[in-house]
Amino acid sequence: MSTFFTTNRHGYSVRFSPFNPDQFVVASSQFYGLAGGGTLYFLELTPDGCGIVEKRTHHWTDGLFDVTWSESNPEIIVSGSGDGSVQLWNTNVSSNNGPPSMVYREHKKEIYSVDWSKVPYEQLFISASWDSTVKIWDPIRNNSLSTYIGHTQLVYNAVFAAHIPNTFASVSGDGFLKIWDILCYDLPIASIKAHDGEVLTVDWCKHDSNILATGASDGLIRIWDLRNFGVPITELKGNEFAVRKVQFSPHNFSVLASVGYDFTTRIWDFKKSNEAMETIKHHSEFTYGLDWNRRRRNQLADCGWDSLVHVFKPDCLSDKI
């Protein structure tokens, strides 16, 4: 395991580069995101894989809560912040500690989620906000392309489908999971009360476009199939507190990871059991960020409020090829 310490910053999100298996970025905030500024850390694994070096940083005047990498340009990063703005950073243009290339200001409250479309010809990204809306953006335009209004409470997470064009999922404090066609922004194409509590996270299966997972304040992870959307196909149990983020593995169909407010990172195989294959306890505060490395099999990164960023391979996946 390799570890990096974000001094006086608390980790909220971590994302590996889609282009380079050694590069990743961390979005962080001062004072647990309650006050102060935010910092993006551009990090790189050392050649032996045992260390992490800081390549550059960029600062913003408010906390940074999420970050996503462009799927077409290795120099482009988008982040979302507590002041309701989205920042686009171009490392070819911005010097170390320099300002963003573009700032998009339409949301009225905190932005807790940003994501870039995985469909090659869709050069779009999405933002989800505590103002209860989701917006779609073209990075070269100053104004959003469309706004999606359907949740009655703050939207925690919105994620593009991995293989379905023009489609994203969103989850909210209202307990609902909604599926949207970006061309039909008046109403979602599907909607279900996914949890009794607030739904904090959603992700699409990387190998089956009909499968999604949600995680919520009730500590449960539920797996959904769009072909039979009425009830979850399974429910994963074991988290003591809220599930902050869930993400399917890009390498194994039924494997996913989660992080949460019980300071743990858990690895699951929903086809085999509703209990975790492995529970990893290497954080001492809320664990917020999580990402699989698409370019390196079974490698994960996580980050938390203890200012620690870890890159590792779970022991339970060592026999999976």
Q: Is residue 320 part of a domain?
A: no
Confirm if 165 and 122 have CB atoms less than 8 A apart. yes
Q: Is residue 321 part of a domain?
A: no
Answer whether residue 23 shows pLDDT above 70.
yes
pTM beyond 0.85, yes or no: yes
What pLDDT shows up at residue 122? 80
What percentage of the chain exceeds 90 in pLDDT?
87
Q: Is residue 109 part of a domain?
A: yes
Q: Is residue 158 part of a domain?
A: yes
> Could you tell me the two tokens for 19?
């282009």
Q: What is the CATH number of the domain that holds 263?
A: 2.130.10.10
Tell me the average pLDDT of the chain.
Answer: 94
List residues bridging with 292 in a β-sheet.
300
DSSP designation for 276: -
Between these two residues, 199 and 229, which has the higher pLDDT value? 199
> Could you tell me the two tokens for 27?
């979005």
Answer whether residue 151 shows pLDDT above 70.
yes
Structural domain span for residue 39? 1-315
Q: Is residue 225 part of a domain?
A: yes
What pLDDT shows up at residue 186? 82
Between these two residues, 121 and 286, which has the higher pLDDT value? 286
* Sheet with strand 199-204: strands edge to edge: 199-204, 211-216, 221-225, 234-236
Answer whether residue 315 shows pLDDT above 80.
yes
| Helix H or strand E segment including 168 | strand 167-172
Residues 204-217 have a mean pLDDT of: 96
Got the DSSP string for 139-200? TT-SS-SEEEE--SS-EEEEEE-SSSTTEEEEEETTSEEEEEETT--SS-SEEEE--SS-EE
Q: Is residue 141 part of a domain?
A: yes
How many domains, in total, are found in the chain?
1
What pLDDT shows up at residue 136? 97
DSSP designation for 95: P
